[in-house]
Amino acid sequence: MTSYDDFARTPGGAILMNGSLLRDEIVAGIRAEIDALGNPAVCLATVLVGSDEPSRIYVRAKHKKAAEAGLVSRNIELRETATQGEVEAAVQDLVDDVDVHGILVQLPLPGGLDPEPVIDLIPPEKDVDGLTERSMGRLVRGRPGHVGCTPRGVMALLRRYGVETSGRRAVVIGRSTLVGLPQVLLLGRKGCDTTVTLAHSRTTDLAGVCREADIIVAAAGMARLVTADFVKPGAAVVDVGVSRTESGIVGDVDFAAVQEIAGAITPMPGGTGPMTIASLLENTLDAARLLGAVPA
């Protein structure tokens, strides 16, 4: 097993939980598995509506890494003026296509379109983003299904960098269905065995609550919310938040100050973002297994 001495560290001495490095390890592992299976056509399909440039960048990155992993990928693009019916029809075509194993609808959709009925069309077996209420229900019930990509990526980072979870205390800041709620479930479920507190921007004495934690997952979307005052010495700090400021894109964690105190910390960028893509590819291979396209 890799020792802590093998991990890169920040100037303050914290272990740097490098998501870019781990993503590339995961992509290589998927590629090796696909090759060993005889290169079956495991297919990820994305639906991109409109011309939002950040969405286009995200989708291109997903397809680039899918190709590196040996997956087949499709991108369905619809114009900005696409109707609700046209978007739903495009998704339904992918649902009905037996050669498509994973479906991801890039959000947000343009104004005037309701994402909920679009997402609801995706069966849990193909819901590689883990967004639907059926996928969330499977997570709660412990049934086979797909976990949201970012929460799954956070768990992979904690494992890879030797962050102990059993018997530890964790605080998840943020209560979104995309990250916060599934993250609480993953940290608290049997086998991980963390005692989890769900906190948010309205939590009384948020800094004091966080100082009790061995693990902090910051997913509130509030720029540099987590300062050194929030962190117990030696705690692991995972930054999921993304905020656009005048000085550029920043996370929920004041990295420069917190890395002086934390025992392990994710960078921004290069932390949880790359892991979201890695987890999407893992979910796609898992989807092919659930659908019987590759051996379980």
Reply yes or no on whether 126 is catalytic: no
Q: Which tokens sit at 136?
A: 């969330």
Both structure tokens of 10: 């920040």
- Beta-carbon contacts of residue 80 (< 8 Å; ≥ 6 apart): 49, 50, 51, 110
Q: Which two tokens stand for residue 89?
A: 């029809």
Rounded to the nearest angstrom, the gap between the alpha carbon of residue 169 and the centroid of all alpha carbons in its chain is 21
**Is 12 buried (19+), middle (13-18) or exposed (0-12) by CB count in 10 A?**
middle
Q: Which amino acid belongs to residue 138? A: R
Is-catalytic flag, 252? no
Q: Does residue 150 contact residue 240 with C-beta atoms inside 8 Å?
A: yes
Angle, alpha carbons 27-32-38 (nearest 5°): 125
What's the count of helices (H) and strands (E) in the chain, helices before strands?
10, 11
- Annotation says 62 is catalytic: yes
d(CA 252, CA 11): 20
Choose, from 62, 65, 259, 286, the residue flagged as catalytic: 62
Pairing state of beta strands 236-239 and 195-199? unpaired
Catalytic residue selected from 129, 214, 239, 286: 129
Could you say which of 65, 106, 239, 286 is catalytic? 106
Which residues are identified as catalytic? 62, 106, 129
